[in-house]
């Protein structure tokens, strides 16, 4: 690929952006002389930074025409669209970027100059494929050599100190640090019951003397989840719902954990990229999409006739898939890491 100024539009979901890091590393290693700019929201930038894979960052503007103007002013000769949307391809086309590379989906094929065909099954549906491989396939399409599939993130000493300033109780901690991530932007179908998280917190406290932190996004629905867990717990887990952490601070916190127990959501991928022990809880979504090969992850997949449904909200009278995951099964899985 011959490009002087390359723009890479990162995917919107945080987890997807982290799963794109092997592809980003591949683009950088194969294009050492190319100026590479990433386009992503501020929080995604905080999570991926510091990054050796780009030379500059842009943040999407709130308005279509403002964003279009920004892309035009960048004088890019190529763009790789990791973001799967019609709007991203249209913006790149109207911005006059000569070479536009991405997946031929979302009715945007005519807007691309280089089209990668997504793998589909016999019924025409997207075939489950790890997103790490999905993004690396673009590099393969461009004839690039791929060295590794490991996701990676890092954080700086300054980010660590900034996190400890927000959470001074962790400065001299000697207890095991367990982080529970009970939320999920996808929708309520991914959520494990709050009373089970509460019981789990109690068992970690009683058995290991662990410090248990409840980490949620600073939005009302997730703050309510954290508050419910803390009300139901007999121990004293720390509710981070009222503590605003930026991306760097969140990375430093997760990077300090002895164990992360999480629904299938963004922080799971942060923990994996930071090589933390992880117990991941799956219900409506097919784990095949997000396989990373992380050897310190135990996946517990809910059982139900309707799994996987890939729906944000459960359509059944009872949330069978997530409710089939017991506290005992999660605790026993965690024990293999904490003992």
Set out the domains of the chain in order of their start, with CATH numbers: 5-141 (3.40.50.2000), 159-338 (3.40.50.2000)
Query: Judging by beta carbons within 10 Å of its beta carbon (0-12, 13-18, 19+), is residue 150 exposed, middle or buried?
Result: middle
DSSP classification of residue 111: G
| Phi and psi angles of residue 322, each rounded to the nearest 5 degrees, phi first | -70, -35
Summarised one tens digit per residue, pLDDT across range 37-65 is 999 999 999 999 999 999 999 999 988 99
Q: How far apart are CA 88 and CA 120, in angstroms?
A: 22
- Any alpha helices (H) in the chain, and if so which ranges? 14-19, 21-30, 42-48, 64-73, 86-94, 131-141, 157-166, 194-208, 220-232, 247-255, 266-273, 320-323, 327-338
Q: What pLDDT was estimated at residue 123?
A: 83
Q: What pLDDT is stored for residue 171 in this prediction?
A: 86
Instruction: Using alpha carbons, select from 100, 46, 36, 108 the residue that is nearest to residue 74.
Output: 36
Nearest to 229 by CA among 180, 190, 263, 266: 180
> Which tokens hold the place of 41?
């929201």
Q: What is the spatial distance between Cα 201 and Cα 132, in angstroms, rounded to a whole number?
A: 32
Place of tokens 């942060």: 270
For Cα atoms 103, 287, 272, give the angle at the middle one, nearest 5 degrees. 90
Closest CA to 127 of 117, 115, 119, 137: 119
Residues of the chain with pLDDT under 70: none
Instruction: Judge whether 269 and 14 are in contact, CB under 8 Å.
Output: yes
How many CA atoms within 13 Å lie on the side-chain side of 261?
28
Largest CA distance in the chain: 61
**Helix 157-166 / helix 247-255 crossing angle, nearest 10 deg:** 90
Query: pLDDT (tens digit, 9 = 90+) per residue, 140-167?
Result: 999 999 989 999 999 999 999 999 999 9
Tokens of residue 53, six digits: 């894979």
pLDDT at residue 11 in the model? 96
Tokens of 169: 């109780």
How far are the Cα atoms of 50, 149, 192, 291 from residue 200, in angstroms, in the given order?
34, 33, 11, 25
Composition of the chain by helix, strand, coil, percent to 5: 40, 15, 45
């Amino acid at each position: 690929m011959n490009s002087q100024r390359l723009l890479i539009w990162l995917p919107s979901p945080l987890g997807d952006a982290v799963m794109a890091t092997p592809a980003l590393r591949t683009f950088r290693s194969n294009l050492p002389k190319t100026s590479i700019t990433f386009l992503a929201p501020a929080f995604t930038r905080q999570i991926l930074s510091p990054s050796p894979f780009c030379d500059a960052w842009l943040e999407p503007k709130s308005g279509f025409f403002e964003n279009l103007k920004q892309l035009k002013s960048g004088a890019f000769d190529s763009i790789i669209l990791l973001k799967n949307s019609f709007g991203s391809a249209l913006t790149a086309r109207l911005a006059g970027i000569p070479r536009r590379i991405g997946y031929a989906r979302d009715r945007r094929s005519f807007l691309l100059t280089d089209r990668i065909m997504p793998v589909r099954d016999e019924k025409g549906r997207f075939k489950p494929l790890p997103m790490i491989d999905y993004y690396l396939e673009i590099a393969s399409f461009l004839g690039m050599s791929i060295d590794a599939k490991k996701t990676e993130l890092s954080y700086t000493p300054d980010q660590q100190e900034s996190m400890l300033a927000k959470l001074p109780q962790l400065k001299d901690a000697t207890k095991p640090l367990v982080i529970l991530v009970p939320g999920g932007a996808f929708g309520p179908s991914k959520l494990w019951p709050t009373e089970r998280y509460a019981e789990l917190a109690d068992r970690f406290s009683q058995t290991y003397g662990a410090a248990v932190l409840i980490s949620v996004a600073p939005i009302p629905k997730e703050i309510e989840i954290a508050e419910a867990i803390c009300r139901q717990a007999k121990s004293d887990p720390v509710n981070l719902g009222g503590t605003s952490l930026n991306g760097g601070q969140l990375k430093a916190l997760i990077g300090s954990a002895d164990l992360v127990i999480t629904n299938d959501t963004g922080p799971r991928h942060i923990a994996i990229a930071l090589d933390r022990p992880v117990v991941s809880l799956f219900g409506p979504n097919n784990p095949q999409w997000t396989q990373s090969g992380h050897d310190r992850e135990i996946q517990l997949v809910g059982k139900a006739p309707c799994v996987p449904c890939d729906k944000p909200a459960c359509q059944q009278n009872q949330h069978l898939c997530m409710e089939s995951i017991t506290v005992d099964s999660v605790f026993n899985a965690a024990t293999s890491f904490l003992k």
